[in-house]
Structure 1
Amino acid sequence: MRIAVVGCGAMGSVYAARLARAGHDVLVVDAWAEHVRAIGENGLHVSGPDGAFAAPVRAFTSAPEEPVDLVVLAVKAADAAAAARTLGGLVGPDTVVLTIQNGLGSAEAVAAEVGGARLAVGIAKGFGASLEGPGRAHHNAMRALRFGSYDSLAPGEVERVADAWRRGGFDCAAVDDIAAMQWEKLICNVAYSAPCALTGMTVGQVLEHTEMGTVSRDAAAEAWEIARARGIAVQVDDPVEFVRDFGARMPDAKPSALLDIEAGRVSEIGFINGAIPREADKIGARAPVNATLTALVRTREAMFRA
């Protein structure tokens, strides 16, 4: 399969390298010129629990005029719509676009740019990755990927994409109800993203903390209640037990929102905790816990621009 990975950060690098190692014809597009140059000269190097390897990958700072079978949007949620507008010649009549971001809201923005009929939505569970330098990425966890149709993309097309990823060694499957899986991940994310970003604590520290542990569980329960009120078929009976089990499996993890705060970057909090009050508003409900957490993180981020 001809595949373009747009956004070759830590996660995008892991995706691209493993797909290329499986024999797919892979190119990457990223704005970081030094990263692109290193990949072009020496390949894309990835290390992790299953060893280290380098994969030959073509790299560009802007999308070439080269239609592919699959475009993978691996940028942050806030950048997804802008990235979709730059795809240009990568998208042909039969190209599938797969968007993989945290939270809720970015897929709608991408669909507005590329059309919902060609769009698949991906969820990455239990991934941890970082860039060690130009052309070099490391992953310390890689659990599962689940893909589903955003709108009317045929199930056979989603399965074809999932099979390409399985060939790359990913635990990947096509699912019928991607919305339910998005919400199940979101329930876990809201429990830790804002609380960790605000306090600097790891997931495990928030989980066990007297005050923040209560806030974390309230955020998760509120998200679960809104999901059920919206008619989302989440397979979660007890949201508190659900997020405690999630946190216990990765106590030393720092959510991406905390990593962004530590680096002085604006996070994806508007697509994570901030998604809950937006979804609540659609049914005339309120989500004060997540709305407050979002406002607090955004206030802290505003200091970066002051």
Structure 2
Amino acid sequence: MKEIKTVGIIGLGALGILFGHHLSKKLPIEDVRIIADKDRLTKYKKNHVYSNGERCMFHYVTPDEISQPVDLLIFAVKDEGLSDAIEAVKNQVGDETIILSLLNGIKSEAIIGKTYGMDNILYCVAQGMDAVKEGNKLTYANMGMLCFGDQEPGMISEKAKRVADFFDKTEVPYEIDTNMMKRLWGKLMTNVGVNQTVAVYQSNYGAIQREGEARQTMIAAMREVIALSEKEGVHLSEDDLHYWLDVLGKLSPEGKPSMAQDIEAKRYSEVDLFAGTVIELGEKHGIPTPVNQRFYDKVKRIEAEY
């Protein structure tokens, strides 16, 4: 079994910084490549990047640099940056490069697969982290974990075992899941609930951890995803809802999800990826999705005022 020794990461948002910084302390610095275009590279080198107050010592490569392909490639960009990222990493991808996507939603693996094929892609969900990024500084109390597995349910491939072995050696918290489609839908359900609720109520994780209107609204939005999952053959249940509520209950109450951070910074959010996906699937199956429709309309009104 070929050992993973080199890693490429594209995207220095919260997750890119979090895992990039962690891995850069566990491996030779040149074996963790942060892929960034020249404009971003100039900004990063001038202002630096910090994780929990510690300066990140990153090894940067530009998209046009030719080098040996990395053993593991991690996409950590936002949804709107995915197509550019797919193009930017082409010199880092080889026949044996394993690809993980940390993007929200349920579509990024298929989009990446159109360019690089599905054979080397493992489905992945990042969960349990309460990272907050302000400018070039990331802070978090909980690192969370990466849940990954194969496209085909019920199996653990050699690729998955290689990644698990690598994460063991580098002390990255992880879990192998043999039903990744259900995990992806569970994460979608959670993002639809927590990201949008905290953003619309202009609050933090604490607001959805305690009983009240915000928490009940969040759960109602999540139940709309459960209803759709039945129609899509994924079959989320109330047990899955309570599993994810337990995950949310462990986050720092002062923390905020990415959508709330985006709206505070007057950046365009992933509302199309969350409520937009739910509304689209609701129309497809003839299932009303009023809570997500309300979230969608509210966030779009906020963004229209930027």
Q: TM-score range by the shorter chain?
A: 0.7 to 0.9
Paired residue type of 1:217 = I
Matches within 5 A, 1:170-181: 170-181=172-183
Evaluate the alpha carbon distance shift between residue 235 and residue 167 of structure 1 in structure 2; reply closer, same or farther with a 3 A threshold. farther
TM-score by length of 1: 0.83
Candidates 152, 156, 159, aligned match of 1:157: 159
Paired residue type of 1:12 = G
Give 1:303's aligned residue.
305
Evaluate the alpha carbon distance shift between residue 212 and residue 174 of structure 1 in structure 2; reply closer, same or farther with a 3 A threshold. closer
Distance in 2, matches of 1:190 and 1:97, equals: 25
Q: Does 1:37 align with 2:37?
A: no
Contact 1:147 1:175 in 2 (8 A): yes
Distance in 1, matches of 2:195 and 2:59, equals: 34
Give 1:195's aligned residue.
197
Distance in 2, matches of 1:248 and 1:106, equals: 27
Evaluate the alpha carbon distance shift between residue 116 and residue 282 of structure 1 in structure 2; reply closer, same or farther with a 3 A threshold. farther
Give 2:130's aligned residue.
128
Distance in 2, matches of 1:247 and 1:173, equals: 17
Matches within 5 A, 1:245-256: 245-250=246-251, 251-256=253-258
Name the % identity: 24
Structure 1 or 2: larger strand share?
Answer: 1
Q: CA deviation at 1:90?
A: 1.0
Instruction: Tell me the secondary structure at the aligned position of residue 239 of structure 2.
Output: coil
Contact 1:69 1:95 in 2 (8 A): yes
Q: CA deviation at 1:175?
A: 2.1
Contact 1:30 1:36 in 2 (8 A): no
Paired residue type of 1:279 = L
Matches within 5 A, 1:53-132: 55=57, 57-66=58-67, 67-131=69-133
Distance in 2, matches of 1:137 and 1:216, equals: 26
Evaluate the alpha carbon distance shift between residue 38 and residue 98 of structure 1 in structure 2; reply closer, same or farther with a 3 A threshold. farther
Give 2:141's aligned residue.
140
Cα deviation 1:12-65 (Å, max 9, x = unaligned)? 1221222232226111013423454259xx8x75438xxx5855x321343522
Evaluate the alpha carbon distance shift between residue 78 and residue 132 of structure 1 in structure 2; reply closer, same or farther with a 3 A threshold. closer
Instruction: Tell me the secondary structure at the aligned position of residue 263 of structure 2.
Output: helix
Cα deviation 1:87-128 (Å, max 9, x = unaligned)? 221111222221111222222222223222222222111113
Distance in 1, matches of 2:218 and 2:248, equals: 11
Distance in 1, matches of 2:152 and 2:78, equals: 21
Contact 1:4 1:26 in 2 (8 A): yes
Q: CA deviation at 1:244?
A: 4.7
- Give the gaps of 5 or more residues in structure 1: none
Count of matched residue pairs: 295
Distance in 2, matches of 1:173 and 1:213, equals: 27
Q: Does 1:3 align with 2:4?
A: no
Instruction: Tell me the secondary structure at the aligned position of residue 74 of structure 2.
Output: strand
Evaluate the alpha carbon distance shift between residue 59 and residue 126 of structure 1 in structure 2; reply closer, same or farther with a 3 A threshold. same
Paired residue type of 2:52 = S
Give 2:207's aligned residue.
205
Q: Does 1:16 align with 2:24?
A: no
Contact 1:188 1:246 in 2 (8 A): no
Distance in 2, matches of 1:161 and 1:281, equals: 38
Evaluate the alpha carbon distance shift between residue 243 and residue 8 of structure 1 in structure 2; reply closer, same or farther with a 3 A threshold. closer
Contact 1:10 1:129 in 2 (8 A): yes
Q: CA deviation at 1:78?
A: 2.5
Root-mean-square deviation over aligned CA pairs: 2.9
Distance in 2, matches of 1:63 and 1:162, equals: 30
TM-score by length of 2: 0.83
Q: CA deviation at 1:210?
A: 4.3
Evaluate the alpha carbon distance shift between residue 248 and residue 91 of structure 1 in structure 2; reply closer, same or farther with a 3 A threshold. closer
